[in-house]
Structure 1
Amino acid sequence: MDIFKTFKKENKRWVIGVSGGADSMSLLDMCRSNGIFVVAAHVNYRKRSTADRDMNGVQRYCERFSIPFACKIVDEFPKSCNFQNYARQLRYAYYREICDMYQCEGVMVAHQLDDHLETYLLQKKRGAHIRYAGIQPEITLYGLRVVRPLLGYTKQELQEYCHRHHVHYYDDESNFTDHYARNQIRHQVIDKLTYDEKQRMVNEIAAFNEHGKQREERNMALHEEFIQECTSDFLHRLSEGTCLNVLRSFLEMHDIYKVSEPQLRNIRQMLLQKEGNHACRVGNYTLRCEYGMISLTQQSCLGYSYIVHSPAILTTPYFRTVKTGTVIDGVTVSESDFPLTIRNARPGDAISLRFGKKRLNRWFIDRKIPASQREIWPVVENKNGKIIFVVGIGCDIEHFSNNPNLFVLK
């Protein structure tokens, strides 16, 4: 119970994810009895006939002890989705919403020792490269601090706690089936282990993680270097296992957690390409490798367009205009050119230069401009819709002089 004394001493508010089972009801009661300010958050998916029973039971407990109770009822789900993954994302998004509402430190969840052992056995069964064996006591998930204070308790101990302290709890009947791999391991392996056998497995996990801690520290140092460089050359210098760890850390930094081992290996193969442009979707992001340069963008640019009525100073997320600069950054405009339109490059754009017409797409390819940059490359049109200037190329032949009066910088 020392961990709850620490939480009490910190005097911070916490959200608790409460399903109504023995684990989460024990956690809720332990926090209450130790004087920790908590908000109980319950998500009712209504996938079982007893779902409302669980919700009402949690609410009654909270009303009895004047604990703030927040509940989200979900009646509809996407037709084609992995329910477990979808429910998990929805649940943590709701926890984050409640954390913000009550200005809480983070969320406590009731994973316990049996869950810890099940996760470890699942990891071994899948043959995945394990960065951390079992369940971590504390992580940041979807930008939210998540702590698990019950990892030292078995499920049986938490059930006994509820009986001893007269805390009602409600079993999720779906846990009694073997429909999920986790349930199979629970019923066929974990439930048959003695307390001493569980402790030996706990020690095995701890030894693995202690050894891996030093390895993880090295990986994090490499991750920081990768963020600075973001190139295929950097990844080529790493062993396959280290490279996969660095890439996973890179994705998790952008709240991308659900990436399978095979998918991560495919991503690595794509990013090792030094020639050409390659891209793939990862979560809500597009991961690109363009001529050996790696980038991760949340969405493609939908286009922009700014109207300019005079050679004024203008700053935007895509370009800026200034009073002075080099000849290649400038264009000589007259009153007959206004209003100007400064927009992003589009397919088919071309500009007339002294040596002939130059298509932007060809120039992008010759200069190996990444696709993510092409989408936002600044182009200047006069009022007649003629392209008179492109950043990096310069102005067309009609608007060239040694004393330009408008400078456009990317």
Structure 2
Amino acid sequence: MLQKFKNHINKNFPFLKDKKLLIAISGGLDSVVLTHLFHQLNIAEIALTHCNFKLRNEASDLDEEFVHKLSQITSNQIFIKSFQTEKISENQKKSIQITARELRYNWFHELIDEHQLDYILTAHHADDNLETFLINLTRGSGLDGFTGIPAINGNIVRTLLPFSRSEILNFAKSNNIEWREDASNASIKYVRNKIRHKVIPVLKEINPSLLESFSNSIHHLKEVQEIVNDKIVDVTKQSVVKEKESIKIDIQKIKELANPKAYLYQILKEYHFTEWNDVYHLLDSQSGKAVYSKTHRLLKDRSFLILSKLENNTNEVYRITENDVLISQPLNLNFQEVTEIKPQNKHSIYVDKDLLNYPLYLRKKQNGDYIYPSGMQGKKKLSKYFKDEKFSLLDKENTWLLCNAENAIVWVIGYRQDRRFMATTSTKNYLKINKL
């Protein structure tokens, strides 16, 4: 197996050579063998990392002791951290498995940054890949869930994916390698273990070459995924416009496609939506209807679906005193006393400082707001102004207002100044307000 592994590294992971690598080691068979393989190849600088999740009482501490001894045998630096996983899981109201995974990878990335390491290596292998595929199959996954565990995902690298559990076990036995057995791996109360111990043995009985056949199927599915990705790139260029704080999807262009729902899924899948029927029905909904994920909102606005990140600042108010010259939250504004008015643009206004009543405030729109728009007669409800200027629903929500102490609008920032506070030829104290 060592020579096969060496050839695999040379062919598919030559970029790992002479790099600083962090191997995630539990003490179990797979990660211990991975450590020994890299130790014998001696092609990179290796450090080990172990998480003690305190879930198996004394056994967890014995795992920690074992990997510490292994690091001494292989002369590897090791990082060990303990977590009160059950308590954290209860506080965050997440499952033990999800909590442990998040704790593990968050800490791995901290180590990468702190010690300037290049890659994290995990010991996922061919049997893990098959188990993940079957789990996704039972949950009704899309094509992404059937293309297998990625060998490279950012700075996470999985070099054992082509190797079976039996190959790894044979290598360990033939080289007298010791490892720790996790008793929980034998329990079938977990879905993965149930598939491992109950389902896969039956499939291997039907087809002794199951892993090889599965590998071929994964290869074909990845080829199909590449074709899909190319098509999505073309559709995205034609129907999606990326703006500074949002993404606009042309409804008519999506509806002209053979399967609009499938295309919407491919375009939006990374934004954590789950109710795909609701997403699809937005195409024919009235303006203002929205679908939410845990991180984003998809809003129907006339002829577009507008995707934006969820923000919690709609009710926030920011105070500005007379002594403030520059502010950076929630946006960058500069306040500068000047002696004359120069040509203006939408990013700056000139006001009569003596007409202002401090403190000033930055806020979003409120019911009852009105403005005396510069260049126009009379006053106008802010909602009417937005409508006349053809603001989208998202534009209305993202527009900040600069107001005086009486809550009167001084500036619809980036759009229109209120003429009540404008600097004129009779102004004595000019104040330039600039959006940076």
Q: Report what 1:150 is aligned to.
A: 160
**What SS class does the counterpart of residue 151 from structure 1 fall into?**
coil
Q: Which moved more, 1:206-215 or 1:20-29?
A: 206-215
* Structure-2 change in CA distance of 1:343 and 1:160 (3 Å): same
The offset of 1:93, in angstroms, is 1.0
Q: How does 1:124-143 map to 2 (within 5 A)?
A: 124-131=137-144, 133-140=146-153
Q: Report what 1:46 is aligned to.
A: 54
* Structure-2 change in CA distance of 1:339 and 1:177 (3 Å): same
**What SS class does the counterpart of residue 37 from structure 2 fall into?**
helix
Q: How does 1:224-373 map to 2 (within 5 A)?
A: 226=240, 228=242, 230-233=248-251, 235-238=254-257, 239=259, 240-249=261-270, 251=271, 259=272, 262-270=274-282, 273=285, 275-276=287-288, 278=290, 280-282=292-294, 285-289=295-299, 291=301, 292-297=304-309, 299-301=311-313, 302-308=316-322, 318=331, 320=333, 323-325=342-344, 330=349, 332-337=351-356, 339=358, 341-345=360-364, 347-348=366-367, 350-351=369-370, 353=372, 358-361=380-383, 363-364=385-386, 369=391, 373=395
Q: Report what 1:118 is aligned to.
A: 131
The offset of 1:97, in angstroms, is 0.9
CA–CA separation in structure 2 for the residues paired with 1:269 and 1:286: 17
The offset of 1:120, in angstroms, is 2.0
2:201 equivalent among 174, 177, 191: 191
Query: Could you give the per-residue CA deviations for residues 122-156 of structure 1, whole angstroms, max 9, x where no partner exists?
Result: 2333332222525234343xxx4221111121112
Q: Report what 1:77 is aligned to.
A: 88
Counterpart residue type for residue 121 of structure 1: L
Q: Report what 1:217 is aligned to.
A: 230
Q: Report what 1:94 is aligned to.
A: 107
CA–CA separation in structure 2 for the residues paired with 1:224 and 1:27: 43
**What SS class does the counterpart of residue 230 from structure 1 fall into?**
strand
Give yes or no for contact 1:328–1:395 (8 Å, CA) kept in 2.
no
* Structure-2 change in CA distance of 1:371 and 1:167 (3 Å): farther
Query: Could you give the per-residue CA deviations for residues 205-243 of structure 1, whole angstroms, max 9, x where no partner exists?
Result: 222222332222323454566363522525445522232
* Structure-2 change in CA distance of 1:205 and 1:367 (3 Å): same
* Structure-2 change in CA distance of 1:393 and 1:171 (3 Å): same
Q: Report what 2:339 is aligned to.
A: none
Query: Could you give the per-residue CA deviations for residues 257-293 of structure 1, whole angstroms, max 9, x where no partner exists?
Result: xx47x445544545775611525242xx232425235
* Structure-2 change in CA distance of 1:368 and 1:277 (3 Å): farther
Q: Which moved more, 1:184-193 or 1:362-371?
A: 362-371
CA–CA separation in structure 2 for the residues paired with 1:407 and 1:223: 39
Q: Which moved more, 1:55-64 or 1:232-241?
A: 232-241
**What SS class does the counterpart of residue 231 from structure 1 fall into?**
strand
Q: Report what 2:401 is aligned to.
A: 379
**What SS class does the counterpart of residue 131 from structure 1 fall into?**
helix
Q: Report what 2:9 is aligned to.
A: 4
- Superposition CA RMSD, Å: 3.6
**What SS class does the counterpart of residue 110 from structure 1 fall into?**
coil
CA–CA separation in structure 1 for the residues paired with 2:422 and 2:194: 74
Counterpart residue type for residue 12 of structure 1: K
**Count of equivalent residues:** 395
Is 1:104 the counterpart of 2:117? The answer is yes
The offset of 1:96, in angstroms, is 0.8
**What SS class does the counterpart of residue 402 from structure 2 fall into?**
strand
What TM-score comes out, normalization by structure 2 length?
0.77
Give yes or no for contact 2:148–2:218 (8 Å, CA) kept in 1.
no
Give yes or no for contact 1:13–1:38 (8 Å, CA) kept in 2.
yes
The offset of 1:110, in angstroms, is 0.9
Is 1:395 the counterpart of 2:395? The answer is no
CA–CA separation in structure 2 for the residues paired with 1:367 and 1:106: 51
Give yes or no for contact 1:342–1:378 (8 Å, CA) kept in 2.
no
* Structure-2 change in CA distance of 1:136 and 1:352 (3 Å): closer
* Structure-2 change in CA distance of 1:274 and 1:400 (3 Å): farther
* Structure-2 change in CA distance of 1:247 and 1:331 (3 Å): same
CA–CA separation in structure 2 for the residues paired with 1:119 and 1:71: 27
Give yes or no for contact 1:332–1:403 (8 Å, CA) kept in 2.
no
CA–CA separation in structure 2 for the residues paired with 1:86 and 1:371: 37
The offset of 1:67, in angstroms, is 0.8
Give yes or no for contact 1:235–1:272 (8 Å, CA) kept in 2.
no
CA–CA separation in structure 2 for the residues paired with 1:134 and 1:385: 56
* Structure-2 change in CA distance of 1:106 and 1:267 (3 Å): farther
* Structure-2 change in CA distance of 1:220 and 1:89 (3 Å): farther
* Structure-2 change in CA distance of 1:44 and 1:204 (3 Å): same
Q: Which runs of 5+ in 2 are unaligned?
A: 337-341
Q: Which runs of 5+ in 1 are unaligned?
A: 252-258
What TM-score comes out, normalization by structure 1 length?
0.81
Query: Could you give the per-residue CA deviations for residues 280-316 of structure 1, whole angstroms, max 9, x where no partner exists?
Result: 242xx23242523523326333443333569x79887
CA–CA separation in structure 2 for the residues paired with 1:184 and 1:150: 23
Counterpart residue type for residue 134 of structure 2: L
Counterpart residue type for residue 117 of structure 1: L
* Structure-2 change in CA distance of 1:224 and 1:34 (3 Å): farther
Give yes or no for contact 1:117–1:134 (8 Å, CA) kept in 2.
no
